Amino acid sequence: MRKIIHIDMDAFFASVEQRDHPELRGKAIAVGYDGPRGVVSTASYEARKYGVHSAMPISRAKRLCPNLIIVAGNHHHYKEVSQQVHHIFQEYTDLIEPISIDEAFLDVTHNKKNMPLALDIALEIKSRIKKELHLTASAGISYCKFLAKIASDYRKPDGICTIHPDKAIEFIDKLRIENFWGIGKKTAERMHHMGIFTGKDLRKVSKNHLVEVFGKSGYIFYDFARGIDNRPVNTNYIRKSVGCEHTFLEDICIKSTILIELYHTVLELIERLKKNNFEGNTLTLKIKYSDFTQITRSYTQSKVLNSKDTILPIAKKLLQQISYSANHPIRLMGLSVTNNLDYTDITHRLKDDYYELELEFKKWPDEH
């Protein structure tokens, strides 16, 4: 039986700021861009008591918590601290799969210290993070990544939770469908319309019907409902997409202005493709309107998308499929290039989503 640990740093960015700046300790803080279009990247637990959370507009966060302190992020520093955390991981196992800057899976089935219990390893790692880095982390332990990920969220902050194989189905049965890894708001709403509210409800739906409704993801949902997740802890991550997006200081609806913004977005995308030495053949245009509704349009071709000549004409064609007006202006525009994805790998999708947030963290804050 595999022994998988998922480590998730608690309110990572905010906790680092409170650690490094004693005057912020015990106070409600939010890391993010303090501007008209700013968004909360991470909120301290003191701020969360007021309902402040990540992806919330700064303006709303301030209304909920009048004493909220906004701290500009220092992503380079957070990355350095993340590397220090990973140095601790590496003393226990080489099978480490980062999910984002503040969380990772560890396969400790065969570990460097020959410790028989994954629980003891997780406790020791948590203790060292607290003692050496003065930060807290939560840990989830189980026999697969799906359950380890969920377990780490179960008793945050500074918590630890083990889901034993004998208790897995019982745990899943009571789990709200919104809390399943890989099920977002829209997918949850579709499941609610199907009468699916818990893991037990999900397990009653046939595999064929789930695939019919959700495509290849239906296979994943079918397995997750049964506690099945055979994906290994993958140390060799291959990037699946590269993109960029801009939130405008003011909503736009004039065609010439939109075309200019599209042109600049294409140029930035090309630079990022070169920087990451990335090749893909699917271009996706993302538009978010002033009311926060969002649409995407994609086009796939056989030729690699890596230059202005290959990307700009397709971007313009995708834009022609988008409607906008003075009453329905555009708030955000984004472009990304993607390889042909195997959508059975939710882990890679989550990593790519985080990568885009990482790239946009300071320069282009938005409601991710």
Catalytic residue numbers read 103
**Is 167:175 a contact under the CB 8 Å cutoff?**
no
Q: Running DSSP on this structure, what letter comes out for residue 250? A: E
Residue found under tokens 């509210």: 197
Distance from C-alpha of 216 to C-alpha of 207, rounded to nearest angstrom: 10
Size of the chain in residues: 368
Burial of 283 by CB count in 10 Å (0-12 exposed, 13-18 middle, 19+ buried)? Answer: buried
Tell me the two tokens of residue 80. Answer: 């350095």
Scored b (16 or more CB within 10 A) or e, 158-176 reads ebbbbbeeeebeebbeebe
Residue found under tokens 């007006």: 325
Q: Running DSSP on this structure, what letter comes out for residue 26? A: T
